[in-house]
Amino acid sequence: MADSQATPDRELDRNWARSVIDRALNCMSVELHAQGRGDVWGCLENNVIEGARAERPQSGALRTALHRARNRLRTLIRAECRHGENETVLHAALA
């Protein structure tokens, strides 16, 4: 039976993963607001927080912008992983 308690290494990995995601989200917020796309940031933020339960935007242009923002967020997270630890640590920490 696997131990359900978090080990110090696992907690460290989890904290690292959270900080990677937080930095990527902060960068996305700055980028989108600088482009005057606060509406896209609001949808992306809601989507990240609520996941599949998030309300789908009505506008086709907003859905396209949200899709591009998700791709950019993914790129930022991967770039953060390459600067420090291996990307597999992120997957393991979030599992």
pLDDT tens for 39-76 read 999 988 888 877 766 677 778 898 899 899 999 999 99
The answer, yes or no, to whether residue 35 has pLDDT greater than 90, is: yes
Contacts of residue 80, defined as CB under 8 A and 6 or more positions apart, other chains included, come to 20, 23, 24
In angstroms, rounded to a whole number, what is the distance separating the alpha carbons of residues 18 and 41? 19
Mean pLDDT of the 82-93 span: 62
pLDDT tens digits for 13-22? Answer: 788 888 888 9
User: Is the pTM higher than 0.85?
Assistant: no
The answer, yes or no, to whether residue 37 has pLDDT greater than 60, is: yes
Amino acid 90: pLDDT: 62
In angstroms, rounded to a whole number, what is the distance separating the alpha carbons of residues 90 and 81? 8
